[in-house]
């Protein structure tokens, strides 16, 4: 039975790491995974992480314009329940909130 699992992440980095884990280690089709703002506004998450952090010197001045307007949602379309365990484990590994199945 087809299902879609969704989860929300506090940072864009956590969402991206989850996607990479699913594609590279579990062989899921990248086209079946979507990443979007969990709300109406564009967002990089609720917390600064990854490439949004200040880089070590020498570097350009620190930026403070990351769109921190809420969580990032990852949705994974599954043809059957066989991969659901791997998806749930990846969500958990990268501190997902509000994991749900549709």
pLDDT per residue as tens digits for the range 33-45: 999 888 777 666 6
**What domains are defined for the chain?**
3-50+68-101 (3.30.70.2750)
pLDDT at residue 81, rounded to an integer: 79
**Rounded CA gap, 55 and 94, in Å?**
22
**Rounded CA gap, 83 and 53, in Å?**
33
Pick from 15, 12, 72, 6: nearest CA to 39: 72
28 pLDDT more than 60: yes
Q: Which residues pair with 3 in a beta bridge?
A: 78
pLDDT per residue as tens digits for the range 40-92: 776 666 565 655 555 555 555 655 656 666 788 999 999 877 799 999 999 99
Pick from 47, 101, 14: nearest CA to 22: 14
pLDDT at residue 59, rounded to an integer: 58
pLDDT at residue 50, rounded to an integer: 55
Phi, psi of 36, rounded to the nearest 5 degrees: -155, 165
pLDDT at residue 41, rounded to an integer: 74
């Amino acid at each position: 039975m087809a299902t879609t699992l969704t989860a929300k992440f506090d940072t864009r980095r956590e969402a991206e790491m989850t996607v990479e884990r699913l594609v590279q280690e579990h062989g899921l089709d990248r086209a079946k995974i979507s990443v979007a703002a969990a709300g109406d506004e564009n967002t990089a998450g609720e917390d600064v992480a990854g490439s949004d952090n200040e880089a070590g010197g020498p570097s350009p001045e620190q930026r403070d314009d990351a769109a921190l307007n809420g969580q990032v949602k990852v949705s994974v379309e599954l043809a059957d329940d066989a991969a659901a365990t791997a998806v749930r484990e990846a969500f958990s590994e990268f501190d997902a909130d509000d994991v749900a199945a549709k």
